[in-house]
Chain A
Amino acid sequence: MVAGGFGVGKTTFVGAVSEINPLRTEAVMTSASAGIDDLTHTGDKTTTTVAMDFGRITLDQDLILYLFGTPGQDRFWFMWDDLVRGAIGAVVLVDTRRLADCFPAVDYFENSGLPFVVALNGFEGHQPYNPEEVREALQIGPDTPIITTDARHRADAKSALITLVEHALMARLR
């Protein structure tokens, strides 16, 4: 999973490392029944579309990794619950100029127990804060990796994914 606040670069990150152009899948919900999922008798209510971008990496003849960007609107938690099942982990992208935007994602993954890494996306190449300053500000424990990245670059995105899977593996073996 690739999570983070609105406009933080989730789809850019997915696109940088995916072998296909990011695709968009949509879930149709009524605003009144979000999370309940029964649209049978609600034809008159306003519907909301939750969009989710994703990419694919074929790692081996019989192994495909899917990268799902979480819906930008944090209130659609039901989509997150759907994604967390079977997920290896999450990259939480952070724009340090808007640190608070990542709080919901960090809280969500801390509560769900899904391994995650925090990746500081340096806009225009700037990294105004170092990872330890961000760790302090976000009150993130010492076990969670915090890295810097540039979501536009394949090598950076790949490296963030490797850090995440290493972290998930360590968490499983611990």
Chain B
Amino acid sequence: MATPPGGRPYDGAHQPPGDHSQNRFNFPSAPSRQGAQQPYQQPQPPYDPSYGQPQQPRIQPVQRRAPESAPPTGTHNPLVRPYAMTGGRTRPRYQLAIEALVSTTADPSRMQGQLPEHQRICRLCIEIKSVAEISALLTIPLGVARILVADLAEAGLVAIHQPGGDESAGGQPAVTLLERVLSGLRKL
């Protein structure tokens, strides 16, 4: 897999297929959707009764952590289940490639008040890193890393460079990219 950092910056156009809602990220706390859709307004029973009904997306993002919820310092506790850091979400708001590159754009003063895991990612990505490296270096599961990075991108604290694929060839790497990789390998 090759990811040119200058390839295709995240442009918000990667909504999941089949999602035709105007809310690009199906993100209930986005201001433009206030009042329009509140999927988690009602307390949910542990097992969603709508399970199996195809008209409802089975997994939906939850509201951001409420102020009275567990203090963020708890995320350093190794006993915290991995997905507790993500507020129970198991899907990022948009699909990040495992080799997507992440670089910190925020200055350190903006990291005050962020979750510790978010701060760690920002510190790590001062030098450009892939989502896979963030997961490995911070020993957080890949799925969790994807969600946390997506949060940071949403907040404008990191820039994401998704790998460039050739749209006309079903997302396969473009011929020019293959040629560059080949010439790069030969020069090693």
Q: Are these two chains actual partners, yes or no? A: yes
Which residues of A are at the interface with B, using a C-beta cutoff of 8 A?
1, 17, 23-28, 37-41, 43, 52, 54, 56-57, 59-60, 62-66, 68, 82-83, 85-88, 158, 161-162, 165-166, 168-169, 172-173
Q: Nearest 3 pairs between A and B by C-beta?
A: A59-B184, A23-B136, A25-B135
Are B171 and A86 neighbours in the complex by a CB distance under 8 Å?
A: yes
Closest to B173 in A: A88
Are A25 and B180 neighbours in the complex by a CB distance under 8 Å?
A: no
> In the complex, which residues of chain A have a beta carbon less than 8 angstroms from the beta carbon of B163?
86
Report the separation of the CA atoms of residues A86 and B101 in the bound assembly, to the nearest whole angstrom.
13
Report the separation of the CA atoms of residues A62 and B103 in the bound assembly, to the nearest whole angstrom.
13
Report the separation of the CA atoms of residues A79 and B81 in the bound assembly, to the nearest whole angstrom.
21
CB within 8 A of A63: which of B83, B181, B188? B181
Quick one: which of A66, A87, A161 has the most chain B CB within 10 A? Answer: A66
Are A166 and B182 neighbours in the complex by a CB distance under 8 Å?
A: yes
Are B90 and A62 neighbours in the complex by a CB distance under 8 Å?
A: no
| A interface footprint on B16-49 (CB within 8 Å = 1, 0 otherwise) | 0000000000000000000000000000001100
Comparing B1-9, B109-117, B118-126, B149-157, the segment that makes contact with chain A is B1-9
Are B132 and A60 neighbours in the complex by a CB distance under 8 Å?
A: no
- Total number of A-B contacts with CB less than 8 angstroms? 131
Report the separation of the CA atoms of residues A145 and B172 in the bound assembly, to the nearest whole angstrom.
20
Report the separation of the CA atoms of residues A168 and B173 in the bound assembly, to the nearest whole angstrom.
9
Report the separation of the CA atoms of residues A39 and B186 in the bound assembly, to the nearest whole angstrom.
44
Given contacts A40-B88, A62-B5, 20 further A-B contacts (CB under 8 A): A17-B188, A26-B141, A38-B59, A40-B90, A41-B47, A43-B81, A52-B142, A57-B188, A59-B180, A59-B181, A63-B184, A68-B1, A83-B1, A85-B97, A86-B97, A86-B163, A86-B173, A88-B178, A168-B173, A169-B179
Main secondary structure of the interface of A (DSSP, over half): mixed
Q: Name B83-115 residues within 8 Å CB distance of A.
A: 83, 88, 90-91, 97-99, 101
> In the complex, which residues of chain A have a beta carbon less than 8 angstroms from the beta carbon of B180?
59-60, 63
Q: A25-B136, A63-B180, A165-B182 are in contact. Are A68 and B59 (CB under 8 A)?
A: no
Report the separation of the CA atoms of residues A26 and B143 in the bound assembly, to the nearest whole angstrom.
9
